[in-house]
């Protein structure tokens, strides 16, 4: 499953503003053999109302724009990234 997300926070994980949307995304990720979360640089450090649990096997794909190196190291300790130039 390829899932877009509204926010990614180092402490709270994946979030979206709509509770029903969060439930749909959570269900899709749990039913998929492999799941990828698509986020661009503007989604980092954003927190919205509804959390979407991040499965251990989930990979986060990001765009080319970067976080600073300090923030990147924190996120990489907690999440698996591919793509982009973080």
Please state, in angstroms and rounded to a whole number, the distance separating the CA atoms of residues 35 and 74.
Answer: 22
For residues 16 and 5, the answer to whether their CB atoms sit within 8 Å is yes
Top-ranked range on mean pLDDT: pick from 26-30, 63-67, 79-83: 26-30
Q: How far apart are CA 34 and CA 16, in angstroms?
A: 20
> Dihedral (C-alpha) 71, 74, 79, 80: value to the nearest 10 degrees?
70
- Sequence spans of domains, the chain: 2-82
Read off the pLDDT of residues 38-68 as tens digits, 9 standing for 90 and up: 988 889 899 999 999 988 888 888 876 667 7
pLDDT value at 86 more than 50: no
Cβ(77)–Cβ(43) below 8 Å: no
**pTM of the complete model beyond 0.75:** yes
Closest to 2 (Cα-Cα) out of 78, 82, 77, 70? 82
């Amino acid at each position: 499953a390829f899932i877009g997300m509204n926010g990614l926070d180092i402490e709270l994980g994946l979030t979206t503003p709509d509770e029903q949307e969060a439930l749909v995304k959570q269900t899709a990720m749990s039913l998929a053999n492999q799941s990828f979360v698509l986020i661009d640089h503007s989604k980092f450090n954003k927190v919205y109302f509804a959390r979407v649990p991040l499965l251990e096997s989930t990979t986060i794909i990001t765009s080319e724009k970067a976080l600073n190196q300090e923030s990147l190291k924190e996120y990489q300790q907690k999440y698996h990234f591919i793509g982009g130039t973080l």
